[in-house]
Structure 1
Amino acid sequence: MIKKIFNIILILLITISILPISVYADEPFEIDGKSALLMDFKSGKVIYEKNSNEKLEPASITKIMVLILASEALEKGKIKLEDSVLISENAASMGGSQVYLEAGGSNTVEELFKAICLRSANDAAVAMGEHISGSEEAFLKDMNKKAKELKMKDTKFKNLTGLPDPDHLSSAYDIALMGRELLKHEIVHKWLSMWTTSIKVGKDRDVIQDLVNTNKLIRFYPGANGIKTGFTQDAGYCLAASATKDETTFISVILGSKSSKIRNADSKKLLDYGFSNYESIAINKKGDVIDKISIEKGKKEEAKIIVKNDINLLAKKDSKEKFKKEIKILDTIKAPIIKGQKIGEIVIKSEDEILEKEDLIINKNIEKANVITMFTKLLENLVAE
């Protein structure tokens, strides 16, 4: 009887010891924050998540969207780095994290970029928004419009700064989408990865503000290159971080952590997990020429077929998975052709599973040949024969 009881206890102990391994097999570590996510920058693939669609206050991580719209405006020529931005009473009145811009003073667009990226300055964010869209309200509307374009389904911005508002919400997944979009703008990388700098503020520009990046990973995590911290009492400690090693870049998001120390440690944990286990594989670059194709009834008889966007896959480092590329092109291509017109696609497969698809397009406009052009071509062919 004693032996039987002993065996039952032994079986229970073995079962209990096995269960956690089974339950947490897909979660190799614990994350303190309310929500977390790890995303591959190039492919957008998510490889770790915890409550990633839970709507939470994002605090100053909000300013990633400010930086996206500012970067777009800069690239389109709507604003310039040397533009002088007149500081309004509204911008100067922002509380919280700031660089103490003075109403009636002026700062350049580049100085505002630095203040937002390093100090997470609320006054600089509002000044930037007013300069680009004419008013804080107009810029806020543009922020929410861009969020919809990026399919940030859990996000609603109520201000430009991330200052507390119960209706100002986002999610770890949406923030990763937003961070991924920002990193596509190379112009902003130099400020995101900058550790220290300084700017002058005040009506007479006689006050020096020394700026130190609030994202401590920039200095203390190898390869760190972004993105944005956030903190309020309601939101807790938040961080959207990015890092690059070799050709692989990951974006990690932590929301609602208990302290900056824990937030930073968990961000490192996520990034370490990504770099230890996965690598990005480049299949094709945007603009790669795949082939040439004949164009029926066109002024030009052939055109290049190019890849519309980069094709990247995320693979496990110890995986022996083999990828197969299939190219599908329309049987007949007739003029007129508009540059960028889809005429086929590349399909990347592993065995029978489709991993990625990307459009193949024509690289230029091709007008339809008129009667004279067609007659000229006919004569040229006859002479050639």
Structure 2
Amino acid sequence: MLKKATSMLVTLTLLFGLLISAAWAGPEKLAEDKKPALETSAEAAILLDYHSGQVMFSKNADKRLPMASVTKLMTMLLACEAEAKGEVKLNDVITASEHAAGMGGSQIYLEPGEEFTFQEMMIAIATGSANDASVAVAEHIAGSEEAFVQMMNDKAEELGLNNTHFTNPTGLPAENHYTSAADMAVILREALKYPLFRKVSGIYEYDLRDGEFKLWNTNKLLKWYRGCDAGKTGWTSEAKYCLAASAERDNLRLISVVLGCPQPKTHFQETIKLFNFGFARYQAVVLAKKAEKIKTAAVEKGMVDSIDVVTAEQVSVVVPRGGDKDIKGKIKLTPRLVAPVEKGQVVGEYTVVKDGKELKKVNLVAAAGVAKASPFRLMGKVMNKVYSMNK
């Protein structure tokens, strides 16, 4: 009887042990099968911080895919660069060629010989995704569409984009015309540097031809998502639904790119999902704005004795929410600054550190130029100094 009781006790103990083991095995398996923090139906996607370029989420970010009208971000980038250099002016009149007027797809139905200002053409590209306006601007800047496409590919190479190649400035289906989510994020990030791009990209509606032709921005997030102020949509049967967009909240500007979204409106839904993820989990810590005065530096042998030192770009870092403690800035200036000094000349650096670790480094530059003083002026300074000492 005692043996039976002992045997039953051992069996029960073993069974209980197995149950305990099974109970603890559950969480371990769940941990292995744990889903990623964010899922997207886009074939490729990326989310990053505008100022630092820090990537917060990516999926197939380097995969080469068709991009449809998101192509026009590069078209607008080159146009904005040309305007910034003074090569083209906002009120320049652009005359539509027969070739430009013959573009299909999204358009403003240009007639050969029809004229619009450069600014109106840019609005038509950004707001109405107009293929005919894109080609007209390309021809105006480069002389021909082919020459402009070469400029597009040269710019892609300059930006280090290894997974991008352009065949046209519109995004109409063509062989050897592709990009990646990561590359397109770089293009949008570059375009955002230009006030003209931000202006035209943020227009939601516009009256063309004295109100006879209404343009509505294809980027509906300008109305649907708080903080969204720039971007470009795209769709073809090959590329599916695409969107590159930017939004800013509480000094945190995000860039999102989604390519190959399967259904109508999913490019908006997936972009909102990415933006919500970024704004919920991260925060920007801004130590200084772009061109903010940081110090006054002494200048030797110059027409003036000192100069304002400003930041070359915004000094900010992105950290997980709640991780903004103990972030500090360290300023280091050039030991001796001798005239002549050029405006924008690097004269120091602003380093952001946390717990002794460097997070970011930004150049400090001269806010204005300082000419070298003449020998007579230098002699006068010496005399004034001697006089002051003997006073």
- Per the TM alignment, residue 12 of structure 1 is displaced from its structure 2 partner at its CA by 4.2
* Aligned-residue identity in percent: 36
2:103 aligned with 1:94, yes or no?
Answer: yes
Measured on the aligned residues, the alpha-carbon RMSD in Å equals: 2.3
Instruction: Say whether the 8 Å CA contact 1:345–1:359 is kept in structure 2.
Output: yes
Pick from 195, 208, 214: which aligns with 1:210? 214
User: Mean Cα displacement is larger for which, 298-307 or 264-273?
Assistant: 298-307
SS at match of 2:65: coil
The Cα shift of 1:217 comes to 1.6
Aligned to 1:109: 118
Using structure 1 for the length normalisation, give the TM-score: 0.89
Matched, 1:20 2:29: no
Q: Deviations over 1:61-106 (max 9, x none)?
A: 1101111222233344433333322111111121222222112222
Aligned counterpart in structure 2 of residue 347 of structure 1, from 342, 346, 351? 351
Any conservation in 2 of the 1:99–1:123 contact (CA below 8 Å)? yes
Partner of 1:335: 339
How much has 1:271 moved relative to structure 2?
Answer: 0.7
Q: Deviations over 1:229-279 (max 9, x none)?
A: 111222221111222223322111101111132222111100111121222
Structure 2 residue 338 is matched with structure 1 residue 363: no
Alpha-carbon distance in 1 for matches of 2:41, 2:78: 32
Task: Give CA-to-partner distance per residue, 1:163-217, whole Å, 9 cap, x none.
Answer: 22332121111111111222222233343233333323xxxx9x94332222222
The two structures have a TM-score, normalised by structure 2, of: 0.88
Contact 1:42-1:280 within 8 A present in 2 as well? no
Name the residue aligned to 2:157.
148
Q: 1:105 to 1:243 in 2, by over 3 A?
A: same
What residue in structure 1 maps to residue 5 of structure 2? none
Q: Which residue is 1:288 aligned to?
A: 292
Deviations 1:327-349 (A, max 9, x none): 11222223332222222211111
Worse-superposed segment, 3-12 or 226-235: 3-12
Amino acid at match of 1:13: G
Give the conservation status (yes or no) of the 8 Å contact 2:252–2:283: yes
Partner of 2:132: 123
Q: 1:177 aligns with which of 183, 186, 190?
A: 186
Is 1:241 aligned to residue 245 of structure 2? yes
Instruction: Indicate if the aligned counterparts of 1:43 and 1:311 stay in contact, CA closer than 8 A.
Output: no
Please give the per-residue CA displacement for 1:275-324, whole angstroms capped at 9, x wherever unaligned: 21222222112222222222333343332222222212212222243211
The DSSP-based 3-state class of the residue aligned with 2:62 is coil
Structure 1 unmatched runs, 5+: none
1:93 partner letter: G
**Counterpart residue type for residue 191 of structure 1:** V
Q: 1:188 aligns with which of 181, 191, 197?
A: 197
1:129-148 alpha-carbon deviations (Å, 9 max, x no partner): 11122211222222223323
Matching residue of 1:304: 308
Bigger CA drift: 298-307 or 85-94? Answer: 298-307
Q: Distance in 2 between matches of 1:301 and 1:193?
A: 44
Which ranges in structure 2 are unaligned for 5 or more consecutive residues? Answer: 1-10
Residue correspondences, number: 376
Task: Report the AA paired with residue 304 of structure 1.
Answer: D
SS at match of 1:181: helix
Select 1:168's aligned residue among 173, 177, 181.
Answer: 177
